Amino acid sequence: MSRRPLRELLPLRPGTAAGVLAAGLTLACAEFVRSGLYGAYLTQVIDTKFHLPVAVAGAAWTSHMVADTLMRGPAGGLIQRFGPRRVALAGAAVSLLALSLLPLAHSAWMLLLVAAIHGIGFSPMWPAAMNLTADAARPGYEGRVLTVVSTSVMPLTGLGFMVYGALAHRPDVWAITIALVMLSLSLLLSLLLPARRHIEAAAEGGERRSSPRALLPALLPLLPAALMQTLTQALIGNWLFRMAPKFGLEYWDLVALLVVGGAVAFGSMPFTGRIADRGRARLAVTVGYALVALGLAGFAFMPPVWTLFLLAACTGLGYAFLTPGWAALVAQTLPEAQRPAAWGVLMTVENGGFAAGPLLGGLALQQAGVRGPFALGAVLALITSLGYVLFRRHFQSRPPGVETPVKAGGAD
């Protein structure tokens, strides 16, 4: 009995694996710096090392995310026109230039400017990775393949958060050097991206003919999930180090808590992703938001420390349903030829959640204490889950169809 070649066993179309891997690594290095610098470092040292008000740390994150958000759509258009390699390379170079100026940021306006330029440079990374992955996935595997790529970025994102959290008590040169090294690596990896998208030029012509108005009916049902999956994370993530002591958690306790949630999420995704890819993407999103709401509500009651680990597992299971469910929902709902234009809009909405989350979380923390961000996140997640139950008839997913022809290698 003959064995099938490895490339036939992969859930990717032939000749696309190298491009997807390069895009994922380029994105992961960029996310390492972003999550660590804004999520864990500046929030701790903005007053002691930069001698600026604490609110400036949140404003820097917002400045970065607003610039990233506004540029996601144009970045998608540039990728469509010039290909992922050139656009991602330019973005990595701009990011590297921006953070090389960070030691000169001795005022609030200068720090916000650096953060905004960094956001502009970062903006092509996610569109390049997600469009290459969506083009490369075989029909019926879209949700799982997109989830594997997007979640494979998470270990470096989480590592960046933890590394920069620990660097708060070290000289500034540590944080700056690590940022420049990782962004230089991201720039070098971007050279390995395909010069063009994987799909044929025939599909590209269809994309150019599609208008935002024509995409609106397909996009509207996707917008709540696009916004809330990022907003619920950003409400809490940027303030974890400040809130942890109120729960009785030391640094390594917080690390263990995040590891438990992440392990449950990653360990469950092969099962939850299979559910999403078999035509039940909306169900997966609905269950995911319900579990996230349950977990966050439990944190809001500030239970004993051992209970927090159970709640972390519940929340991780929620994201295990939500992440592949959302990816499959996008892939199954949007026509393939219109996907790049539509994804630019969805990523803009997603970034809106990341931009608004820290500000809303900080306000909830100030007004209601550590219970506030968790309670607000639970309410928003529950509303979103109920929304996908009440408006379920608005989703019309396309069944797996015939594979779109691709260019072998997708490169030069």
pLDDT in tens, 319-344: 889 888 887 887 777 766 666 666 76
Taking the C-alpha atoms of residue 44 and residue 375, their distance in angstroms, rounded to an integer, is: 24
Q: List 406's β-bridge partners, or say none.
A: 199
Nearest to 243 by CA among 62, 23, 7, 43: 43
- 90-116 pLDDT, tens per residue? 999 999 999 999 988 889 999 999 999
- 11-53 pLDDT, tens per residue? 777 777 888 889 999 999 999 999 899 888 888 888 888 888 8
Mean pLDDT in the chain?
Answer: 81
The model's confidence at residue 207, banded by pLDDT at 50, 70 and 90, is very low
Residue 174 has pLDDT above 70, yes or no: yes
Residue 206 has pLDDT above 70, yes or no: no
Amino acid (1-letter code) at residue 173 = V
Q: What is the pLDDT of residue 291?
A: 95
Q: What is the pLDDT of residue 177?
A: 93
- 351-381 pLDDT, tens per residue? 778 778 877 888 888 888 889 899 999 999 9
Residue 348 has pLDDT above 70, yes or no: yes
Q: What is the pLDDT of residue 92?
A: 96
* Percentage of the residues of the chain whose pLDDT score is greater than 90: 27
Nearest to 257 by CA among 244, 266, 271, 242: 244
**Helix axes of 281-300 and 251-277: crossing angle, nearest 10 degrees:** 160
Are 275 and 287 a contacting pair, CB within 8 Å? no
The model's confidence at residue 56, banded by pLDDT at 50, 70 and 90, is confident
Instruction: Write out the two tokens for 13.
Output: 């179309």
Amino acid (1-letter code) at residue 148 = V
Query: What phi, psi does 406 have (nearest 5°)?
Result: -125, 160
Amino acid (1-letter code) at residue 308 = L
Amino acid (1-letter code) at residue 277 = D
- 263-277 pLDDT, tens per residue? 998 888 888 888 887
CA atoms within 13 A on the CB side of 292: 33
Q: What is the pLDDT of residue 213?
A: 56
Would the CA dihedral through 164, 89, 70, 148 be positive or negative? Answer: negative
Average pLDDT, integer, range 48-71: 85
- 112-148 pLDDT, tens per residue? 999 999 999 999 998 888 888 877 777 767 677 777 7
Taking the C-alpha atoms of residue 58 and residue 363, their distance in angstroms, rounded to an integer, is: 11
Query: What phi, psi does 225 have (nearest 5°)?
Result: -70, -35
Residue 203 has pLDDT above 50, yes or no: no
Q: What is the pLDDT of residue 198?
A: 57
Tokens 């404003």 identify what position? 59
| Residue 197 vs residues 76, 158, 299, 349, 377: alpha-carbon distances, Å | 12, 29, 43, 23, 37
Nearest to 358 by CA among 231, 247, 259: 231
The model's confidence at residue 240, banded by pLDDT at 50, 70 and 90, is confident
Nearest to 17 by CA among 191, 133, 154: 133
Instruction: Write out the two tokens for 337.
Output: 């030829």
Taking the C-alpha atoms of residue 135 and residue 337, their distance in angstroms, rounded to an integer, is: 10
Are 198 and 19 a contacting pair, CB within 8 Å? yes
Q: What is the pLDDT of residue 83?
A: 84
Are 290 and 382 a contacting pair, CB within 8 Å? yes
Are 348 and 73 a contacting pair, CB within 8 Å? yes
In the 3-class helix/strand/coil scheme, how is 65-112 assigned residue by residue?
Answer: HHHHHHHHHHHHHHHHHHCHHHHHHHHHHHHHHHHHCHHHCCCHHHHH
Average pLDDT, integer, range 210-226: 68
Residue 255 has pLDDT above 60, yes or no: yes
Contacts of 85 (CB under 8 A, 6+ apart): 190, 191, 193, 194, 195
Taking the C-alpha atoms of residue 355 and residue 119, their distance in angstroms, rounded to an integer, is: 11
Q: Is the pTM of this model over 0.85?
A: no
User: Measured at the alpha carbon of residue 254, what is the angle toward residues 63 and 248, in degrees to the nearest 5?
Assistant: 110
Residue 171 has pLDDT above 90, yes or no: no
Assign 61 to helix, strand or coil.
Answer: helix
User: Measured at the alpha carbon of residue 350, what is the angle toward residues 348 and 353, in degrees to the nearest 5?
Assistant: 115
Contacts of 226 (CB under 8 A, 6+ apart): 326, 346, 347, 349, 350, 353
Residue 278 has pLDDT above 60, yes or no: yes
Q: What is the pLDDT of residue 101?
A: 92
| Residue 210 vs residues 198, 207, 327: alpha-carbon distances, Å | 19, 5, 21
Most confident of 59-63, 151-155, 174-178, 338-342: 174-178
The mean-pLDDT minimum among 83-92, 299-308, 315-324, 338-347 falls in 338-347
